[in-house]
Structure 1
Amino acid sequence: MGENTNRSEPFFDEDVDLVKLQFTDIFGQCKMVQMTRRQAEKAMKEGYAINRFALGGLQKAGIEGAAAPEYLTDQSESVELYLKPDASTYQVLPWDSGQENVARVICQVCNADGTPSWTDSRHILQETVKRAEKMGLDFDFDFQCEFYLFHTDDDGRPTTVTHEVAGYYDAGPIDLAEGVRRDMVLSLEEAGFAVESTHHGLTAGQHSFVLPARRGIEAADYLQTFKAAVKRIAKRHGLHATFMPKPNMSGDGSGLHVGVSISSRRGAEAMAQAKHFAAGVLKNLSDMMIFTNPTVNSYKRLAAERSTVFQPEFPAAVWEKGSKKAVHVKEDRNGRISVEVQFPDPSANPYLALTAILAAGLEGIEKALVLDEEAGDEDAPRFPETLGILLQKLDQNEFAHRVFGEKFCRMYGEGKKEEWERFCAYVTDWETAEYLYRC
């Protein structure tokens, strides 16, 4: 590994005791290696070796002597990868600090020769951003991210129980978690991560944060940091925060609404660019959803054609028969134009979700695709009903292979296939209640 920085003086503040080298696996799980400040100084210069299979999430291959998958047996590839810290992401984390001060640095995942690894979802987004920049375009992303706060049991394990009955925009004292959200806002602000606003969600236990726009890769870094902070601060209050899209039958689904603002250095008309971008997202909608809505549970939130499912945010008829809720162009009172992408959910890997949205939108701009604003219900894009349907089509998904690469899609697909097969084999409480007495 080559040196990461030319600094000769210490990089970290003297009052920092511990440093987390943070990276994200391909399924969006935040991973880290923790070390003392002195060891972290060495890692800043030399990198830090990790096992390749730390990036595989659900994959068991390569651990405890198991054989590697066929697509990873290329002899030119080492099992060992290296974390290369990105110095610009250094940040002290108030929610992790107590008696000791804890900082983090987000890392690029590299091969032994220092080149970026194809397993690094953050690098994939960086390359897509560079492609946009070559087209003379800059993109800012803002988010409305929803999640639930639930109680934990006596052993500290999460439940789906909430003691509150608050609803949309309710305040304390009926909103029992107002103080928890306040702690989240102030802790993020202390670390330099502004929050635009926050309020109670539509149903009991649900909460919503609006995060201000950030450019390119910084937006995904911020979203990943936000999710980690929310979980840590919730735990401090004896609660569990979950970004699961549909954690129970009675409550509203949790979405990740992504706002995309386009800046053209070549003077292109903003509204036309936004409409082309939105048309590109709609054209590739089904092909990108395995990355923007990546779990079995994601499709319980979308609930296509399931009229009996309580889904007040986006009723099944809205999702299924019209695209304006899923993707639309809007102009605010200040004349700011943005594309609102509302079908993703917060279980997604932020780097993959933004890559998919950006790549699809760029295709729309490159090809000057046009939104058919007068299209009837029969012409609206159809949402897949399950993750399994998308997995069956992944090998033929040209968009995914073009944007993410064949090896990445293979590794991602095999992990998701394992997840789907475990779900299909699992006997649910519903099945027991429905069939145990009748059969």
Structure 2
Amino acid sequence: MNSPLTPGIAANRLDTQTLAQNFADLHAPLNPHEAAVAADRCYFCHDAPCITACPTDIDIPLFIRQIATGTPEAAAMTIFDQNILGGMCARVCPTEDLCEQACVREMAEGKPVEIGRLQRYATDRLMDKGVMPYTRATATGKRVAVVGAGPAGLACAHRLAMLGHEVTIYDAKPKAGGLNEYGIAAYKSTDDFAAKEVAWLCSIGGITIENGKALGAALSLDGLADDFDAVFLGVGLGGVNALAVDGADKAGVADAVSFIADLRQADDLTRLPVGRNVVVIGGGMTAVDVAVQSKLLGAETVTIAYRRGREAMSASRYEQDLAASNGVKLMFNVMPKAIHGNGAAVEIELEYTATKDGRLQGTGETLRLPADQIYRAIGQTLTTDAGLTLDGGKIAVTGAGRTSRARVWAGGDCAAGGDDLTVTAVAEGRDAAMDIHATLMEGA
């Protein structure tokens, strides 16, 4: 599998059994006894700070009490009423920075209630029954187009379908799910859970998904606005920021998002090539996901190079520690200066940085690292604005996702103002659906 241009990149670095172990579920699901013990640690606070910290406003003490009293299916309904993608959020949500960080146990003892794992326990129990617990309201006769089958679009579509509207989801990818399907580390979402969740969510009825259709010339916002009563845009951020240094076009340099997508869709991980010396540029969760998975695939050295200090990384401290525990080296206050090699990457030259007069700048001091595979995880950009007003490079919204155009809403990563988190996207999709419903039913 070696290429003449990329001699350090090869497949089959590890055998099938080792890879299966490496990419097993990051957190094994709780069994009933473990769930009962974990639930018993909750104080069931009346004015619970964990609820305030949850972007979807799940009544966390209530669902934990329901688990403690032996009714996990009721707990799941408490979760799904607020977050229909609660199963995935239980797996990928940075609970250590949200609900668990706000937990009274965390503040008092340094060990929070395991809210994320308890949420997974409850939602899995209900979803494993294979039955959609929600039913559709009487048909309204209204039709809504949702562009993007990621968390925001799916949450919006489900709530609209539940309220009696007919929904058509258009998505550019071959599979629905958005980042849940293509952009999350494989060890966080195993056993094809993203696809199973989409199928379960759509089983409510009234939702049609058309794949391979992106917003653009063939699928215009004008056309959708003419054909449907309302439009919701949950298109995410499809573009990847370029690495503006000499040698960035050499073989072995790629974007992190594509790497994760390829890994998530691979049928055989032994066939996925990985370098001996991997360097990831960036400081977010995507950078961590790429770095850790490169190490799990068999890379000898993996380094995350971030231009600022540890405290500025958008990846949580938990994610940073996860990377370190898997043998990833974290380097701070370094930025790429050049990539060296004859046609293919061999080394990356990094420059040390410092903040002077409030501005980050290079110090002139450099170092070189062996690097035959370099991934840029330095942010994503909106690929289409559909003629809408923008705010900071994203679609400007007011209220519950209203854009500058009447009867067009937006939410998730493509919309301005929110965190780029799955749970935030779900909240924005849900809230937009409620606003769409209220608008469509005015005077009805």
Global fold match (TM > 0.5): no
TM norm structure 1? 0.29
Structure with greater contact order relative to length (CA < 8 Å, sep ≥ 6): 2
When normalised by structure 2's length, the TM-score is: 0.29
